C-alpha cells in the first residue's frame, strides 16, 4: 500500500490510522518507515490518528478535531504542555502515564458523542463540557481565537464573550 502511494512521488502522504490493529513491534516499524520516507523524499505527512503516543513521536504540528471540526491547533509540544480546549485537555488526561498510579482509573470524558448529522454551528462539545457557558456556547458559532501566532483554539473561554453577553 505504501509503495503504491509513493509511486507518483507525492509532496504529501496522507496516513489514516496507519498503525491501527498492529502489534507494538510492527507499529514501531511502520512509524520508522514513514520517518525515513519523509526524510528521503522530503514530503509532508498528514497523520490521522487517535493515538496520542504516536502524535508525540511523529508530529510537529497538531490539529485536534471533534465532530469533524478543528477545535485546537498548535505545535505538538504546545498542545501537550499548554492545551486550551476542554476536549484537548480531556484527551490528555485520559492518557496513561509512565510511573503513574496503577490502581487509579484513567480519567474519561463524560457523556456521549452527539450525532454529527446536521450539526448546528454551536460548540459540538457543549453537552460534554464542564466549562461551558450557558447561553453562549449553545447559541452561536464558535470563532477561532489566536492564543499566540502558532496556537489557535475554537472555544468561547478564550474570546471576549462571557456569561450573560450572548448576542
Beta 69-75 vs 61-66: how paired, if at all? antiparallel
Asked whether the predicted pLDDT for residue 13 surpasses 70, the reply is: yes
Domains of the chain: which residue ranges?
A: 1-59, 83-95+107-167
Pair 153, 163: CB distance under 8 Å: no
Asked whether the predicted pLDDT for residue 72 surpasses 70, the reply is: yes
Taking residues 116-139, what's their average pLDDT? 90
pLDDT digits (tens, 9 = 90+) for 24-65: 999 999 999 999 989 998 999 999 999 999 999 999 999 999
Q: Give percent of the chain above pLDDT 90.
A: 66
In degrees, rounded to 5, the angle at the alpha carbon of residue 62 between the alpha carbons of residues 126 and 68 is 40
CA distances from 141 to 69, 120, 122, 135, 138 (A): 12, 8, 5, 12, 8
Q: 20-24, 40-44, 72-76, 109-113: lowest mean pLDDT where?
A: 109-113
pLDDT digits (tens, 9 = 90+) for 129-160: 999 999 999 999 999 999 999 999 999 999 87
Q: pTM (2 decimals)? A: 0.85
Amino acid at each position: 500500500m505504501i509503495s503504491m502511494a509513493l509511486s507518483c512521488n507525492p509532496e504529501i502522504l496522507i496516513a489514516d490510522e496507519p498503525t491501527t490493529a498492529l502489534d507494538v513491534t510492527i507499529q514501531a516499524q511502520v512509524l520508522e518507515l514513514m520517518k525515513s520516507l519523509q526524510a528521503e523524499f522530503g514530503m509532508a505527512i498528514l497523520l490521522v490518528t487517535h493515538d496520542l503516543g504516536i502524535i508525540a513521536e511523529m508530529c510537529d504540528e497538531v490539529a485536534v478535531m471533534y465532530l469533524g471540526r478543528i477545535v485546537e491547533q498548535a505545535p505538538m509540544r504546545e498542545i501537550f504542555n499548554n492545551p486550551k480546549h476542554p476536549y484537548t485537555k480531556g484527551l490528555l488526561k485520559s492518557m496513561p502515564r509512565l510511573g503513574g498510579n496503577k490502581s487509579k482509573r484513567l480519567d474519561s470524558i463524560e457523556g456521549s458523542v452527539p450525532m454529527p448529522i446536521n450539526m448546528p454551528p454551536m460548540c459540538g462539545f457543549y453537552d460534554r463540557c464542564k466549562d461551558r457557558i450557558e447561553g453562549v456556547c449553545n447559541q452561536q458559532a464558535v470563532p477561532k481565537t489566536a492564543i499566540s501566532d502558532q496556537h489557535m483554539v475554537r472555544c468561547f473561554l478564550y474570546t471576549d464573550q462571557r456569561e450573560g453577553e450572548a448576542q
